[in-house]
Amino acid sequence: MRYTQFDIVDQAITNLLIGFGLALLNVLFCYFVKGAPRVIKVIPRDNQVRWLIFAYMIALIIQLATSPIFRSLLQSVYVEMAWSPFQAAFNVLGVIVLDVIILVVAGVRRGAEVASRGIGELGERASSAVESVGGALGKGGEGQQNDARPADQGEAQAESRKRLDDRLKDY
């Protein structure tokens, strides 16, 4: 059987999604079961090349072990086994895609936390600047109105009632 260019692309996309899906299942399992280790990951490791080769070898062993299961009437087990290195590479690439997405989301979350702290500090600085400007103005504008107001709340209410009564008498 001859493989066309579209068969190669189909195989690549399928195995990329298989690797991505397995890694996503591992992430979801770790999310719901606290304390479970995230086993399927490639990027956040110390020695990148060694872990990449290790992940590829595991994916290749899984592909070779499952090749006889996925054979069809149109292709033999040998053809399926010949595709296994290619399929394993795209499985690992799918895991890497999910690792990159997780790193980007973590970076965005960290950036949002830093930005919210910065906005909080900016608000505090703005309020202290407004208070210092109000204190520098002193008796002008609001300062005179504040001094004219009675200090006691009861006196303020009594004064407002008196004004209301005077207005009612005029009518």
Give the tens place of pLDDT for each residue, 55-86: 899 998 888 888 777 666 667 777 777 888 89
List of long-range contacts for 11-18, beta carbons under 8 Å, 24+ apart: 11/83, 11/86, 11/87, 11/90, 12/86, 12/90, 15/86, 15/87, 15/88, 15/90, 15/91, 15/94, 16/90, 16/91, 16/93, 16/94, 16/97, 17/94, 18/90, 18/91, 18/94
What pLDDT is attached to residue 45?
A: 67
What pLDDT is attached to residue 24?
A: 94
Mean pLDDT of 101-117: 91
Which of 135 and 29 is assigned the larger pLDDT?
29
Write down the pTM of the prediction: 0.63
